A and B are shown apart, each in its own frame.
Chain A
Amino acid sequence: MIKMKDLRKDFTVRVKASRFRRKKRTVAAVDGVSLTIDRGEMVGYIGPNGAGKSTTLKMLTGVLTPSSGEVSVCGLTPVPQRTKLALRIGVVFGQRSQLWWDLPLRESFQLLRHIYRVPAADHASRLKRCRDLLDLDEFLDTPVRQLSLGQRMRGELTAALLHGPEVLFLDEPTIGLDVVSKQAVRSFLAELGATGDVTLVLTTHDLADIERLCERLVVIDHGRVVHDGSIEALHTRYGSRRTLVADLEKPLPDGFALPGADLTAVTANGHRVTFTLDSTTAGVAVAGLVAAVPVRDLSVVEPDIEDVVARLYAER
C-alpha cells in the first residue's frame, strides 16, 4: 500500500555569516527512510520534535516533493499524481484545519461530497456512521470558527473519511485534546482499524495513542528509522521489564530471593517490596512470594512505553 525507498528531503537553511553574507546549509529532514506498509496495517510513526515525521507524511501525501528516493502510495507517485491520490487517501493534520472557517460543518461536508464526487447514498451512510460514533449532531450547524478544538477535531476526522479513503494519514490527531475527546478519537480509530480495510499511519507524541491503536511502531530520529517493529520488540530491545509490587503483612525474611527476579526496592518499613521480573513469569514469582510471607495486596506493573521511548530519544 505504501512503499518508500531511500526517501530524502533536504531543506536549505541560510545562516547569517556576516553583515552581507549568508551561508547556505543543507539540513536533511528525512535522511534515507525505507519502509513498506501493507494494506490494513496500523502504524505508529513516532519520534522527537524535528525528527522528520511530518515531513515524511507530507511527502507521502504529495504536498512536498522529495529531494531523492522513491515513494509510492496506493500505487501512485504522490507529487505528480497528487489530485488522483487525494481521492484515495484521507489526511488529518492536527494543527491545521481542512474545513471552511466560515461554514457550518454540515455544509463543509456537503461541499466535500461534491469535491470528492461521492455518490449521495455513500456519503449519507458514512456521515451517519461518523455522526453516531463521534457525536457530531449537537454542533453540526455551528460554523467551524465557533467550534471547540475537540469538536473541530471530530469534524476533521469525519471530513477525512467521507470519501472512503484507503489510507488514512493522521498527524497528531489528539494534540491538545482533553481526555474524553482523546478517548473518543481513539476508540473511533480503533473501530475503523478493526475493519482491516483502512491502512492507518499515525504520528503522535502521545504514546497512549500508539499503545491503544498500533501493532507496529516506527521510530524515527534525525530523519532515520531507528526502530521498526512491535511495541514488545521495543521493550525487549531496551530490556524493559515488568515489575511486581507487593504490600506485605510483615517484612521479608533476611536473605529472601525469588529465582529469576531482582528485588529492586523495599519501602514502608519493609512492608512494600518491588521485584523486577527477569526470567520468570508473574505467576511463579507471586506463588514464591506468597509461600514466604503473607501478602496483603499486589500488582504487576507493565513497563512504561514512555520510559523506553525516552531512553531511545536520549541515546542520540
Chain B
Amino acid sequence: MDQRDASVPTISRIGPFRAWVTTFGALIGSGFRRYSTYRQATIAGTFTNIVFGFLRCYVLLAVAAEAVGQRPAGYGAEQLATYVWVGQGLLSVIGIWGWTELADRIRSGDIAADLLRPIGPVTGYLAADLGRALYAMLTRFAPPLLAGALFFPLHTPQRWQTVPLFALSVLLAVIICFGCRYVVNASAYWLQDARGPIMLWTLGSGVLGGLYFPLRLLPAEFVVVLWAATPLPSLLQTPLDVIAERDGPALQAGLVAVQVGWAVLILALAALVQRRAERRLVVQGG
C-alpha cells in the first residue's frame, strides 16, 4: 500500500521450493486449526466410534466362531479385533463421510473466492484435508484403539516394517480418499447439487472400502478386480490389512504400492476435473 509495495509484487526471498513447503505447511495448519475448533464434535464422534466398534467386533467374532477353522477369510480372532478397532480409529482420519465443503461452495458460488487465491484449489484443499486428518489422528485414532485393547485381545505386529508401512498406508489412504471426495464434490460444477453422487459415494466407499466387513470375505477374483480397478479398497482395507498382517511381507508392501498408484492417479484426475470445470464454470448467485 505504500509506494513500492503496490507496484512490486513482493515474493519471499527464500527459494521457491521452501516457500512452497511453507505455504503448504501453513495450509495444513489451517485445516488442523479449523477442525480443532469443534471439540464437542470430536468427543461425540469418538464416543460413537467406540460404541459401533463393540457392535462390529462382536458380529465379526461371532462370524469367526462359526467359520471353518475359526479363521474367516484368513483372519484370526485377534486380527479381526484389530481390524475392527483400528478401523474405528481410522474412520474419521480417512474421513470418507461428511465432506461436502467443495460442493457447497460450488453451489453457493463461494468457490469464486477459492479461485482467487494464488494456489490451485486441489492443492489448497488437499493441504487443509491433511491438516484435518492430522487433527483426527491425534484425537480420534487412539481412544477406540484403547477401548478395543481393554476389552479384546488385539494382534500385536510381528514384523518391524508393519508400523511404518501402516503409517505410510494411512497417509496414502487420506490422499486417495481426499481425491475421491474432491471428484465426487466437483460433480456439483455440472450438476449444481452433488447430493446424489455424494450419497452414492458414501454407500460405495463404505461397502467396497472394507468398512462394513473385510473385503476378503468376498470371492477372491472379485476382490482382486476391486483392488486393481477401483481406489475403494485402498481407503480402509489396505491400511487395516497392513496393520493386522493379514498377508505375507511381499503382498503387504505390494498393497501399499497399489495405493501409491491410486494416489497419483486420483490426484491427477481431481486436477483434470478441476481444469475442465473452470472452463465451464458458472458462478452461482451473482
Contact = CB atoms under 8 A, between A and B. Distances in A.
A111 interface: yes
Contacts of A61: 116
A6 interface: no
Interface in B1-22: 1-3, 5-13, 19, 22
Contacts of A54: 286
Interface in A200-257: none
Contacts of A98: 113, 116
A142 to B, nearest CB: 13
A166 B4 CA distance: 10
Contacts of B22: 114, 117
Given A115-B117, A117-B23, A95 B37 contact: no
B23 A122 contact: no
Given A96-B113, A143-B37, A87 B26 contact: no
Contacts of B3: 195, 197
B19 A117 contact: yes
Nearest to B282: A11
Contacts of A84: 118
A79 B278 contact: yes
Given A115-B23, A116-B118, A164-B1, A93 B112 contact: yes
B235 to A, nearest CB: 26
Interface string A91-119: 10101111010110001001100111111
Interface in A118-136: 118-119, 122, 125-126, 129
Interface residues of B, number: 42
Nearest to B111: A63
Nearest to B30: A111
Interface in A162-185: 163-166
A4 interface: no
B113 A93 contact: yes
A143 to B, nearest CB: 7
Contact of B279 (A65, A86, A103, A126): A65
B263 to A, nearest CB: 23
Contact of A86 (B1, B38, B116): B116
A154 interface: no
Interface string B18-55: 01001101110110011001100000000000000000
Nearest to A90: B116
B137 interface: no
B120 interface: yes
B281 interface: yes
A88 interface: yes
A111 B117 CA distance: 12
Interface string B271-286: 0000000111111011
Contacts of A91: 116
B115 A100 contact: no
A88 B9 contact: yes
Contacts of A62: 115-116
Contacts of A102: 33-34, 37-38
B112 A103 contact: no
Contact of B281 (A63, A88, A122): A63
A163 B3 CA distance: 13
B34 A114 contact: no
A82 interface: yes
A84 B116 CA distance: 10
A152 interface: no
Nearest to A192: B1
B95 interface: no
A251 B22 CA distance: 78
B113 A114 contact: no
A30 interface: no
Contacts of A116: 118
A26 B283 CA distance: 17
B191 interface: no
Contacts of A86: 116-118
Contact of A198 (B1, B26, B33, B118): B1
Interface of A: 11, 54, 58, 61-65, 79, 82-84, 86-89, 91, 93, 95-98, 100, 102-103, 107, 110-111, 114-119, 122, 125-126, 129, 143, 161, 163-166, 192, 195, 197-198
Going nearest first, the 3 A-B pairs with the smallest beta carbon separation are: A114-B26, A197-B6, A164-B5
26 contacts: A54-B286, A58-B112, A58-B283, A63-B281, A63-B283, A65-B278, A65-B281, A82-B115, A84-B118, A86-B118, A87-B9, A87-B11, A87-B118, A95-B285, A95-B286, A111-B26, A115-B117, A117-B19, A117-B23, A119-B10, A122-B5, A164-B8, A166-B6, A195-B2, A195-B6, A198-B1
Given A100-B30, A103-B30, 18 more contacts: A58-B112, A63-B115, A64-B283, A82-B115, A83-B120, A89-B116, A91-B116, A96-B109, A96-B112, A96-B113, A107-B30, A111-B30, A115-B27, A117-B19, A118-B12, A161-B1, A164-B8, A192-B1
